């Protein structure tokens, strides 16, 4: 009897399987098999990722998230829900934060993409990364790259005067307050519930008033 090789169970493997089973509840059975549609030629895509120009040949369906993770092996950016609900895939495109799962690589010809890998390194951390470490802004860490990218962008958005749902006077300069930060981070879910520590980290970097 041939033995079936058992792949070692990894933390990453479990997470990927978990995400897949969550998706299955809404995907029709026909969609789970290999694509039967006529073969569509891959298209050339040019991006600037963390300051480095990259050229790829991609299926038109490839999201920016899958491009980063599967093609460029930049696995810092995480796939959580893959539907724009959790924020784990947050990256900067041309300086603004977006959900990389809800956009296609072909839509970003020539765009500048910045991921957590471009923000800082273990030896030379970005101030927001340092603050997350100092304030324990994570537990399992899966949402953390998205939280940090979003946190950096949120402080810039407040500085730039982008209003939010909690802004009082829309014509006055925005205030760097904890309420503003909390509201603007609502697109980043942390199932461990490290929120209060995340806001401590952001408050320190942003110099928040109470």
Query: Residue 134: CB partners within 8 Å, gap ≥ 6?
Result: 201, 204
User: Residue 20, interface with another protein (CB under 8 A)?
Assistant: no
Separation of alpha carbons 66 and 59, rounded Å:
11
Query: Residue 70: CB partners within 8 Å, gap ≥ 6?
Result: none
Instruction: Return the range that interacts with another protein (CB under 8 A); candidates 7-15, 23-31, 113-121, 136-144.
Output: 23-31
DSSP conformational letter for 71: I
User: Residue 165, interface with another protein (CB under 8 A)?
Assistant: yes
Among 76, 120, 127, 187, binds another protein (CB under 8 A): 187
Closest CA to 109 of 66, 62, 45: 45
Separation of alpha carbons 32 and 36, rounded Å:
11
What character string, x for contact with another protein (CB under 8 A) and - otherwise, covers 131-150?
Answer: -------------------x
Separation of alpha carbons 147 and 145, rounded Å:
5
- Min dist CB 57 to another protein, Å, is 14
- Min dist CB 1 to another protein, Å, is 38
Among 1, 9, 122, 170, binds another protein (CB under 8 A): 170
- Which lies closer to another protein via its Cβ, residue 144 or residue 167? 167
Among 16, 24, 162, 192, binds another protein (CB under 8 A): 162
Separation of alpha carbons 29 and 41, rounded Å:
26
User: Residue 38, interface with another protein (CB under 8 A)?
Assistant: yes
Residue 43: phi, psi to the nearest 5?
A: -115, 145
Tokens of 29: 């059975």
Among 75, 139, 164, 177, binds another protein (CB under 8 A): 164
Separation of alpha carbons 45 and 186, rounded Å:
32
User: Residue 3, interface with another protein (CB under 8 A)?
Assistant: no
- Which lies closer to another protein via its Cβ, residue 99 or residue 203? 99
Q: What is the CA radius of gyration of the chain?
A: 19
Within residues 52-71, the interface with another protein by CB under 8 A covers 59-61, 63
Separation of alpha carbons 118 and 140, rounded Å:
22
Interface with another protein (CB under 8 A): 26-28, 30-31, 35, 37-40, 43, 59-61, 63, 82-84, 87, 90, 96-99, 102-104, 106-107, 150, 153-154, 157, 160-165, 167, 170-171, 183-188
């Amino acid at each position: 009897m041939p033995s079936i090789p058992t792949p070692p169970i990894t933390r990453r493997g479990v997470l990927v399987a978990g995400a897949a089973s969550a998706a299955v509840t809404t995907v029709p059975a026909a969609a789970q098999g290999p694509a039967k549609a006529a073969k569509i030629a891959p298209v050339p895509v040019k991006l600037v990722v963390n300051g480095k120009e990259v050229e790829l040949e991609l299926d038109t369906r490839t999201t920016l998230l899958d491009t980063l993770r599967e093609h460029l092996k930049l696995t810092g950016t995480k796939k959580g829900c893959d539907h724009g609900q959790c924020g784990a895939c947050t990256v900067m495109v041309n300086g603004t934060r977006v959900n990389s799962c809800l956009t296609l690589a072909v839509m970003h010809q020539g765009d500048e993409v910045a991921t957590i890998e471009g923000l800082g390194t273990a030896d030379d951390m970005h101030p927001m990364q340092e603050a997350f470490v100092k304030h324990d802004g994570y537990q399992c860490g899966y949402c953390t790259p998205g939280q940090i990218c979003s946190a950096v962008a949120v402080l810039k958005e407040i500085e730039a005067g982008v209003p939010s749902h909690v802004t009082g006077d829309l014509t006055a300069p925005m205030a760097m307050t904890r309420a503003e930060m909390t509201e603007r981070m609502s697109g980043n879910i942390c199932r461990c519930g490290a929120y209060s520590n995340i806001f401590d980290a952001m408050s320190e970097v942003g110099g928040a008033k109470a």
